[in-house]
Structure formats: C-alpha cells, structure tokens
Amino acid sequence: MDPLVQTFAFLLGSAALIYFACEFFVNGVEWVGRKFAVGEKATGTILAAFGTALPESVVTFVAVAFGGSQAQKAIGIGAALGGPLVLATIAYAVVGWSLYLTQRQLPTGEVAYTDFAKLSRDQTWFAAIFVVKLGLGLVLFAFKPWLGIAFLAAYAVYFWKEMRGGDDDNSEGVELEPLKFAPKAATPSTMIAVLQTVVALVVIFFASRFFVSQIDVLGPMLGIKPQLLALLISPIATELPETLNAIIWIRQGKVRLALANISGAMMIQATVPTAFGLFFTPWLLDRSLVLAGVVTLAAVIILLLAFRTGRVSKALLSSMAVGYGMFAVLLVILRL
C-alpha cells in the first residue's frame, strides 16, 4: 500500500475510534457528574474538559521536558499556543455548524442569560491569563520558570470556583441516556460509571496519541516544517476529543454542555501547558507564536462580548473558523 494512502487510512481509523470512545466518555462523565452532585456546567468545564485536555497537555509536557533539541521544545511551545487557537476558532465553529445540521437552538430567555453570563466569565478569566502568557513570551528574566506555579495556581482557583457551583445549575431538561456499560440499569452504580469514563478516557488518550503520530508522519510527506506542523496542524488533532464531544452533546440537545466543555478546555490550555513551558524552556515566542496568540485573543474577546451581551448565534459561532483561516493565510504570506 502507498505510504500516503496508509497514513490517511490510519488517520481515519483513529479518528473513528476517538469518536466512538467519546460517545462512551460523554455518557460516562455525565453519570459521574450526577453521582457526585456536580453541576451540569462544572461537568463540562471540569470533569469532561480535564479528561479530554490530557492528550494536548501530554504532547506539550513530553516535548518540553524530554525533547532533545530546541526544535522539539519549539514543537511543545507551538502546541501550547496552538491548542487555545483551535478551541477559540474551530471548536466553536463546529458547535455552530452542528447546531445548523441538527436544527438545535441556542438557549433563550433567562436560562440563556444565566448560561451566557457564566461563559463570559470563563472567557474573561481566559483572556486575563492569556495576556500574561503572551507577555511573558516577549521578555527574558531569571525567575520566569517560577511563574509556572502561578499558572497552576490560577487553574486551581478556577477549578475550586467551578466545583463550588454544585448542582445549582439549571438542567437543559434532557434525560441522561442509559450508561453504556449498564444499559438496563435505571440508576447504574458509581463504580461502573467511573469505570466506563476511565476506560473511554484511556482509549481517547492512546487513539489521540496515534492520531497525532500519523499527523507527524504526514507532515514530511507533504513538505510541512515541524514547527508549522505543531502550530497549524497538530492542535487540530489534539483538540479532536473536545470537538467530537461538542458534536455528540449537541446531537443529544445538550448545548450548554458542549459550550462548557470547550470553555473549560480553554482554561486548561491557558494554564497547564504554559506552566510546563515555563518550567522547562525559556518561554520566548517567535513571530508565528505571537501571531497565533493575537488571533486567539481577538477571537476570545469577540466571544466574551457576545456571551456578555447575549448576542450569541449560530452564525457567529460558525464564523469563528474565519479567525483560524486568517491565521493560516497570514502565516504563509508573511512566511513566519
């Protein structure tokens, strides 16, 4: 078989495996959230986001901590900047496209105001942390590595804030589907719910790693530089679980969970991979990384204002992909 055809076959196969594993994961994590009385939004922003953010966090950690060359460490930094870019643009666009395809509607009325207000606060948190993240990448000083602790602390505070929400959130009124590991049980045990979630997460983890490895193989075949691959292509692969989770939840009519999962994943991407980068590299950003950061920040500000004013629509969410397209075009035109 032709190597290029084989690589594409592996990509499609691993993507399909990730999708089916995500079906089990979102089903399991919802039951885990109910068992531990975690609010619906916190289920998306914390439980689901923490699990699906593992692949990209591992990519960054392995690259910056164990990379034997500056090029490999640069790939890790690229992944740390590329992840938030993909989430703020493509992931939200996928939500918009999925809403159109499934003919689902965004929340309206008082429920929408409450949900969007919470999401706007998430975007505010992200924007504030991301500005610091970008600023640190422009300067060099001796104690910079110690600031990685501050980024981990910032996520810890966010985690605490979200978990304190408890079960006060308004439900979307959609019943939970039976647990796939116990389809005949009206109320499955906590142990089996956790087991399904963990098993699905393990499959997502290894399938995502394989998917990314195939992207790495595809890059040289298409003549794509490693740094460009890490910034432009690999983040799409590593953010695949969050994107597929969004598609699944919207198909089930759980729009707020889809939006919360992306919002929570963005918070992890703003803090944990950045901390790894600060611990193990000088964290100095080149022009392409700065451009990625600026586009990400612009997209987040648009989302923040939309959520805060309640002017969120399918069209707006769908159009967020334009930001990623502009970044790709500028990257090529400016030869960054």
Which range, 76-80, 222-226, 234-238, 265-269, has the best average confidence (pLDDT)?
Answer: 265-269
- Please give the mean pLDDT across all residues of the chain: 84
Mean pLDDT value of segment 214-232: 72
Helix (H, G, I), strand (E, B) or coil at 68: coil
Which pTM does this prediction carry? 0.84
Angle, vertex CA 123, rays to CA 203 and CA 49, nearest 5: 15
Question: What percentage of the chain exceeds 90 in pLDDT?
Answer: 34
Residue 204 has pLDDT above 90, yes or no: no
3-state secondary structure the chain: CCHHHHHHHHHHHHHHHHHHHHHHHHHHHHHHHHHCCCCHHHHHHHHHHHHHCHHHHHHHHHHHHHCCCHHHHHHHHHHHHHHHHHHHHHHHHHHHHHHHHHCCCCCCHHHHHHHHHHHHHHHHHHHHHHHHHHHHCCCCCCCHHHHHHHHHHHHHHHHHHHHCCCCCCCCCCCCCCCCCCCCCCCCCCHHHHHHHHHHHHHHHHHHHHHHHHHHHHHHHHHCCCHHHHHHHHHHHHHCHHHHHHHHHHHHCCCHHHHHHHHHHHHHHHHHHHHHHHHHHCCCCCCHHHHHHHHHHHHHHHHHHHHHHHCCCCHHHHHHCHHHHHHHHHHHHHCCC
Lowest-pLDDT range, 33-42, 147-156, 262-271? 33-42
pLDDT of residue 69: 65
Compute the distance between CA of residue 299 and CA of residue 304 in angstroms, rounded to an integer: 9
Residue 336 has pLDDT above 90, yes or no: no
Residue 168 has pLDDT above 60, yes or no: no
Residue 170 has pLDDT above 60, yes or no: no
pLDDT of residue 72: 65
More reliable by pLDDT, 226 or 90: 90
Q: Tell me the per-residue pLDDT of 277-313, one tens digit each, with 9 for 90 and over.
A: 999 888 988 888 999 999 999 999 999 999 998 889 9
Q: Are 246 and 94 in contact (CB under 8 A)?
A: yes
Structure tokens at 125: 């948190």
More reliable by pLDDT, 145 or 212: 145
Q: Tell me the per-residue pLDDT of 102-138, one tens digit each, with 9 for 90 and over.
A: 999 887 777 778 888 888 988 999 999 999 999 999 9
How far out from the chain centre does Cα 143 lie?
Answer: 29
